[in-house]
């Protein structure tokens, strides 16, 4: 059972490299999620309301959601960094990012499974080969999958779908929902998938995932529908593909969950597709 397959099939993490080199300035990042690979040197990470963090070994610094932060480096020696903006798919309803810690600091020496991909990132980032930007973006996206896989395997997520996928019984029910969103699942059906009583299953699901199983099913159906709509599928076809008898019922539920009609949501997606995945960077003199 691949508990992450359906999540990544519907909305995969996206990344856009925007810096690779020696940073000799104090820089503030905001406006989107970020992932920084510190290859050499030392930095001080400053976040409002939190103690400063000194990082002086090769590390990955991951901000899964928008969180303003400042990196301070030595103005003479600087620090070698490769940085990317990140989108875990929340704008299109994907639940991957929900429940992740607001900041993840991984020292590479304690995570040898990430060494090879980080070496490739550094080689591409500090090189000048043709196709460098595309290679860096794809490598960062692969790194994001590895990070999410690691978080799930180690049970580091407190709540949300990734926390549910870390639970051996809840993972079976969640994977069933992800694989067959159109199926008319009942609470009893899902409890049977988890091998639990209906009452205990409902209690545990709410505690770990953060909502009822049926509410999660509805949200996942809409997430699946968004992907199909973005592919150009007709509204009626999409409605049936995610378990609704007619387009009106589907559009009504879509609006309840997203706050927009399918047409409005699709127009917004087209507008966002024209904008690059960028954040705001302020360099302090």
Comparing 64-68, 98-102, 231-235, 256-260, which segment has the lowest mean pLDDT? 98-102
Please, which pLDDT band fits residue 193 given cuts at 50, 70 and 90?
A: very high
Tokens of 41: 């040197």
- Residue 130 in 3-state DSSP? coil
Q: How is residue 158 annotated by DSSP? A: -
Give me the numbers of helices (H) and strands (E) for the chain, helices first please: 11, 10
- Residue 72 in 3-state DSSP? strand
User: Does 165 have pLDDT greater than 80?
Assistant: yes
Please, which pLDDT band fits residue 273 given cuts at 50, 70 and 90?
A: low
CA dihedral 164, 212, 94, 233 (to 10 degrees): 130
User: Does 94 have pLDDT greater than 80?
Assistant: no
User: Does 260 have pLDDT greater than 70?
Assistant: yes
Please, which pLDDT band fits residue 20 given cuts at 50, 70 and 90?
A: very high
User: Does 29 have pLDDT greater than 70?
Assistant: yes
For 33-52, what is the mean pLDDT? 94
Comparing 22-31, 84-93, 146-155, 271-280, which segment has the lowest mean pLDDT? 271-280
In whole angstroms, give the CA distance from residue 216 to residue 101.
Answer: 21
In whole angstroms, give the CA distance from residue 51 to residue 64.
Answer: 19
């Amino acid at each position: 059972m691949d508990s992450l397959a359906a999540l990544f099939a519907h909305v995969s993490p996206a990344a856009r490299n925007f810096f690779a080199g020696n940073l000799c300035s104090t820089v503030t990042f905001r406006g989107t999620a970020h992932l920084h690979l510190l290859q050499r040197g030392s930095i001080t990470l400053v976040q409002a309301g939190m103690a400063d963090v000194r990082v002086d070994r090769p590390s990955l610094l991951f901000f899964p959601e928008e969180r303003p932060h400042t990196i301070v480096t030595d103005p003479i020696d600087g620090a070698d960094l490769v940085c990317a903006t990140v989108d875990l798919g929340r704008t299109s309803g994907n639940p991957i990012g929900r429940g992740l810690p607001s900041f993840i600091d991984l020292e590479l020496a304690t995570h040898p499974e990430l060494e090879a991909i980080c070496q490739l990132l550094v080689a591409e980032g500090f090189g000048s080969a043709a196709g460098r930007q595309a290679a860096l973006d794809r490598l960062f996206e692969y790194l994001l999958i590895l990070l999410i896989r690691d978080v799930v395997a180690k049970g580091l997520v407190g709540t949300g779908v990734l926390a549910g996928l870390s639970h051996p019984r809840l993972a079976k029910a969640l994977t069933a929902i992800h694989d067959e969103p159109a199926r008319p699942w009942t609470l009893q059906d899902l409890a049977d998938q988890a091998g639990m009583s209906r009452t205990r299953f409902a209690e545990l699901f709410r505690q770990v995932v953060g909502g009822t199983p049926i509410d999660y099913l509805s949200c996942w159906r809409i997430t699946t529908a968004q992907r199909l709509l973005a592919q150009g599928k007709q509204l009626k076809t999409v409605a049936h593909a995610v378990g609704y008898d007619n387009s009106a019922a589907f559009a009504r539920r879509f609006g309840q969950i997203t706050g927009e009609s399918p047409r409005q949501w699709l127009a917004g997606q087209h507008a966002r597709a024209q904008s690059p995945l960028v954040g705001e960077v302020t360099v302090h003199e």
